Structure 1
């Protein structure tokens, strides 16, 4: 029963060509009957008519859409028209060529085989043109980054691969139906193979999907300085579909699989409104120091440093009354996060020298031990000697 239904689906293309003959006007029916009496003449005549009509239809299509494309400034419309010209021409021409084949009077098997062959060529033509249309659309959408951030030059290969696989699957399904082959068994086999491949390459697929979402979500980009919860810190040098690469301050490149970095906590030091980064210099001074003089000294250290930015301006904040010191914090902005280590070093040295010059004491932790009395059984070294 199923095989009979599949065979009937495979002959739908024959019904299409038979039905097309019904559109011949009644006044032309006598001429059509006479043409069928001369098979070779009918074949040549119908083929010529089909070729001419296909050319006319292609000319009308090109002129009509060229008028519309003049309203747009990009060249995508023109390229799309050029891609569609050939399959449109073949569709109309092959339709008449199929009618021409029916006028020859071939055997049923040859006639169906030739018509199915023409339909198969037509399906392949549309499928390959679909590849070009897909590539054109993806390249166009990738340039519109303000509208389609998910489609970028690095994600185009993934979209291109998925799109081509879908087109190949659709084209293969139609070809199987045309030739009367039941596609159910093929689909089941493809499903089993897909599951096996998925289990075998689960880590690779996890990295690919994580890379896709990282590029789409864009938590960082090339040139950003990031910190990971595992302790890695460095500049992002490459964001790929499988992995992300960081260049540390030791000039060591770390390659991290996207599956890992996609599930990690990421601190992007280059994120925010600008690339500028703020550094904090904690400072403790002794109790009894002039707190306002301390603020002036600390701020002057930042203002006098040539690599500390004036906008936003440096500021000093008193944070707490510590156990043995008054705790302050110097806040200032620098151009890039990569300068953080060196500028903190220089500011710490400048602050230390400035506080010493101002006579402001920097306390350090010290403990005094008081012994109330010695135990009775403990003798001094002098008495034992």
Structure 2
């Protein structure tokens, strides 16, 4: 597999450019998709072939010099008395492999170990939320990175030269491309979700970054795609999923990802592995749930209940009593159906919140000295 190699403008800072557009609702990166990956985020288009990934060549002047091994050891041997060696000793694992999901770039990166890092710095690069430490698989960060287990004290993997780092990026580029090509686009959003294939490829990159350089294992059987789980266990699907709003759907996706196999061991049994095995997980849950909801809507527009109530002021007013409020969800569902709209979310809660917002507006008017129009004095309990 061949990969294009281009010069990266700066090894320590992300280039100043507009972010490339995210995935369209109906597309995922793959054989038939087209994604921009030019220097400024527009221009050259790449498809799901050997040009889908760009391997950026990092230059020697873009990385800091390696820590001085002798100074680091003198610092340790002196019990900290050799202060000049402190910064060299504390360099840590500063060498990374970075995958820019949006720009489809993969490259060797070193942050400057000579500059103290603020753990609370939200502008640091690579961003903290992209570190490869998979405990759950729901969202894909725009920037993913793997820490290379290189160190002055590791004979099996001392710090890499820039040439060695670039060679490692080229070596692992097929895995990075496998990760990219198997991400799942989340319908109706500009975000991606994981698949068993993409997550397994990420794990193989992590293994290769270890000082022991473990060989790739390929697809992990304990990582199960949601579609695969539904195919062997159709009763997993719940009717309520089709009517959940985005927040509820995201919560359900996380629950399924964390506990789906544990709570449904029949899925693992049907697929031939122990549901209690380490890191057994359902993947692609968010993408699958959003697609399931879209299919259930059958082309009809979907709208959150709160938005629907705001657009239909006759359904709820500040004067609406508790008894009247109890009938609103059913009335709203009928009205939405008549308009060809799929109503999403908890209509009971949304109705209550909307009425309280209207009543807060009345209190604001009273506080300002104005007299609001009321059909009953609910303010004083009459």
By relative contact order (CA 8 Å, sep 6+), the higher-ranking structure is 2
TM category (shorter chain) comes to under 0.3
- Hey, which of these two has a bigger chunk of helix by percent? 1
Calculate the TM-score normalised by the size of structure 1.
0.23
Q: What TM-score do you get using the length of structure 2 for normalisation?
A: 0.23
